Amino acid sequence: MNHTKSEQLFERSKRCIPGGVNSPVRAYRAVGRNPVFIERACGSKIYDVDGNGYIDYVCSWGPCILGHCDKEIIDAVKDACDRGLTFGAPTEAECALAELIRGCIPSMEMSRLVSSGTEAVMSAVRVARGYTRRDKIIKFEGCYHGHSDGLLVKAGSGALTQSAPDSAGVPADYAKNTLVARYNDEASVRSLFEANRGQIAAVLVEPVAANMGVVLPKDGFLEFLRDVTKTNGALLIFDEVITGFRLGLGGAQEYFGVTPDLTTLGKIVGGGMPVGAYGGRKEIMETVAPRGCVYQAGTLSGNPLTTAAGIAAIRRLCAGGKALYQELDRKGRYLADTVKTAFGEKAQVNRAGSLLSVFFAANPVTDYETAVRSDTREYARYFNYLLDHGIYTAPSQFEAMFVSAAHTQEDLEKTAEIIRQFVRES
């Protein structure tokens, strides 16, 4: 493959954008090459500026569950464009989107739209603190909740990819109220509650961790979090920025049957436009200004393009219903089975529906410690081989692979063949 234009653009970008990218993982540092620059995408395919096409399993890190350029979403956005890009005033569409969210995720009786997942989680944590009048929160090693100061503590995603789970620039004072437990480890949560009696506002968790690679909750872990928060007067916050509308219309909370007090969304709920949303029980959400005393605001929150895209996406998913999610699950399983058969004991595959990760590790990956033990060099070799053969996956061991409704059986079979070829040639 020729990547001349991508190389030139990267050189140019590095002169005016830190690292040449607007989000660290995109720089491909973890996989030892320079990034490809994307020109366009359609359905399951993405095309770079040199004219190379790839089957896309990044799907913009999750939002494109219906594939790229879904006609109904694009038409809805075009239509909204003609009526004005932003008003900074309430619209019917915001109300319609909040109603759709509540219809799919009943625990989100009330919700607020913001412009990114980072904002959504930052705001949900503030609400939890304002509601409980407590300062401390518990998060988990390797879980990523956006880049707000207090949450860049033992964080996953790009922070982990860069081997910098704790960012410079975060004053120790800001982070001191963020307590860190081990994912899937009940004892670590219990001891934090015991050592900080009456001080913990919330436990914040990705119900399926997807930012240290995909790591599933052990049986009973989410139920345990539900119980321990209730017993201790703390709130349970599910960060469903990735799992929301991905594991089913009702997200991870429906998939696992555990109801949190607050939920954060992003990605799919904006149909590909910048978005975040947080919500929960009415009584809790009524602490938000102007109804209550927790302040949160945003000029572009609930803007007409995002709401149009979000409504179109959710309506499409609702129309597809169970059958659509079963098909996504089937495709995810096909890829997981392919990888398991191809690599045997050399690799572990973690999967929930259409969200999956391949770890080059001999033992099961169940938390941060086991995730970081995996062979990132082998992952880089695998990534590069796939990219060079037209398969676009995450350029980091610590991100997920996303399957969309637009992926065809032919895409999956081609992907499977390239994976088998990689193994044969290794």
Give the nearest distance from C-beta 287 to ligand HOZ in angstroms. 29
18 binds ligand HOZ (CB under 6 A): no
Return the number of the residue (25 or 252) whose C-beta is nearest ligand HOZ: 25
Return the number of the residue (123 or 211) whose C-beta is nearest ligand HOZ: 211
Tokens standing for residue 51: 């004219």
* First-to-last C-alpha distance (Å) of the chain: 20
157 binds ligand HOZ (CB under 6 A): yes
Return the number of the residue (215 or 234) whose C-beta is nearest ligand HOZ: 215
Return the number of the residue (272 or 304) whose C-beta is nearest ligand HOZ: 272
- Quick check: helix, strand or coil at residue 55? strand
Question: 96-100 long-range CB contacts below 8 Å, 24 or more apart?
Answer: 96/307, 96/311, 97/269, 97/302, 97/307, 97/310, 97/311, 97/314, 98/279, 100/310, 100/311, 100/314, 100/315, 100/318
211 binds ligand HOZ (CB under 6 A): yes
Answer for the pair 145, 204: CB distance below 8 angstroms, yes or no: yes
| Whether 166 is catalytic | no
Query: C-alpha distances in angstroms, 249 versus 26, 238, 288?
Result: 29, 15, 26
**Residue from 273, 274, 204, 201 nearest 239 by CA:** 204
Return the number of the residue (211 or 306) whose C-beta is nearest ligand HOZ: 211
404 binds ligand HOZ (CB under 6 A): no
Query: C-alpha distances in angstroms, 82 versus 42, 78, 86, 91, 308?
Result: 23, 7, 11, 15, 12
Pairing of strands 276-280, 136-140: unpaired
List 26, 134, 154, 246, residue binding ligand HOZ (CB under 6 A): 26
| Whether 144 is catalytic | yes
Q: State the catalytic residue, choosing from 56, 70, 239, 367.
A: 239
Give the nearest distance from C-beta 224 to ligand HOZ in angstroms. 26
Give the nearest distance from C-beta 285 to ligand HOZ in angstroms. 26
| Whether 340 is catalytic | no
- Residue 129: how many other CB atoms lie within 10 Å: 19
CB-nearest residue to ligand HOZ: 23
List 399, 405, 412, 422, residue binding ligand HOZ (CB under 6 A): 399
Query: C-alpha distances in angstroms, 262 versus 107, 140, 150, 341, 426?
Result: 8, 17, 18, 39, 46
List 158, 272, 280, 395, residue binding ligand HOZ (CB under 6 A): 158
Q: State the catalytic residue, choosing from 144, 255, 278, 379.
A: 144
Is the bond into 24 cis (omega within 30 degrees of 0)? Answer: no
Return the number of the residue (211 or 296) whose C-beta is nearest ligand HOZ: 211
304 binds ligand HOZ (CB under 6 A): no
User: Which span (19-27, 128-136, 266-274, 382-390) binds ligand HOZ, by CB under 6 A?
Assistant: 19-27
List 9, 25, 336, 391, residue binding ligand HOZ (CB under 6 A): 25
48 beta partners: 38
- Quick check: helix, strand or coil at residue 263? strand
Return the number of the residue (258 or 355) whose C-beta is nearest ligand HOZ: 355
157 beta partners: none
Q: State the catalytic residue, choosing from 45, 139, 267, 331.
A: 267
131 binds ligand HOZ (CB under 6 A): no
Identify the sign of the CA torsion 191, 196, 197, 201.
Answer: negative
255 binds ligand HOZ (CB under 6 A): no
73-112: contacts with ligand HOZ (CB under 6 A): none
How many residues form the binding site for ligand HOZ (CB under 6 A)? 8
Residues that bind ligand HOZ (CB under 6 A): 23, 25-26, 61, 157-158, 211, 399
Q: Give catalytic residue positions.
A: 144, 239, 267
